[in-house]
Amino acid sequence: MNTIENALELEYYHDYAGAISMYKKIIGNMHPPVDAFINLAFLYWSVVNNRLFDRSLKKECGVPAELLPASDKMYEFIINMGLQEHPQNIELAFWKLYFSEISYGKDVIEADYISLLTHYHNDSLVPYLVLAAYDKTKYRNELYLLREECSIHPTAKNLYIKAVIEGMPNL
């Protein structure tokens, strides 16, 4: 069965190729869950930007060519599809902004991330990942909660977030 739970389990075991395949099937269904868009876009972004690796083994995780994105911008397409399906989702909006800045070397502007908190349903701690770069003291509690949340659900996205948080000095 093609469920989000099955895809998440594949990610937990670092079967990223299997997870990509499963997420692609899930987003082809009626009313796919937001996490399918976020996680598939993140996996595609990771593959394109050489960020997909197993930290415990210190090696890249192989993704077969047939599962690779057809375009280097496929992650953007998936995020935009997700925003059409879930237009008020703050995490989709966050990743759209974050991918754009990280991938294209754009300046990270604090006000852009603060505006996410005011314009979208604030049901995600993920925007605090960037906001903490501006004020760790102010957002310390949110970062701790985000790190804990990421530890519970070890998807590629969450492993990345956790690594970024743990790499922040003086936290």
Tens of pLDDT, residue by residue over 33-55, are: 999 999 999 998 887 776 554 44
94 pLDDT tier (thresholds 50, 70, 90) = very high
Alpha-carbon distance of 91 to 122, in angstroms, equals 9
103-156 pLDDT tens trace:
777 787 889 999 999 998 778 999 999 999 888 889 999 999 999 999 999 999
User: Is 8 inside a domain boundary?
Assistant: yes
- What is the reported pLDDT for 101? 86
User: Is 16 inside a domain boundary?
Assistant: yes
Mean pLDDT of the chain: 85
How many domains does the chain fold into? 1
DSSP 48: H
Structural domain for 30, as ranges: 4-166
DSSP 54: E
User: Is 38 inside a domain boundary?
Assistant: yes
User: Is 47 inside a domain boundary?
Assistant: yes
Residue 103: which CATH number? Answer: 1.25.40
User: Is 43 inside a domain boundary?
Assistant: yes
154 class by beta-carbon count within 10 Å (0-12 exposed, 13-18 middle, 19+ buried): middle
- Identify the residue with better confidence: 55 or 89: 89
- Identify the residue with better confidence: 92 or 101: 92
User: Is 171 inside a domain boundary?
Assistant: no
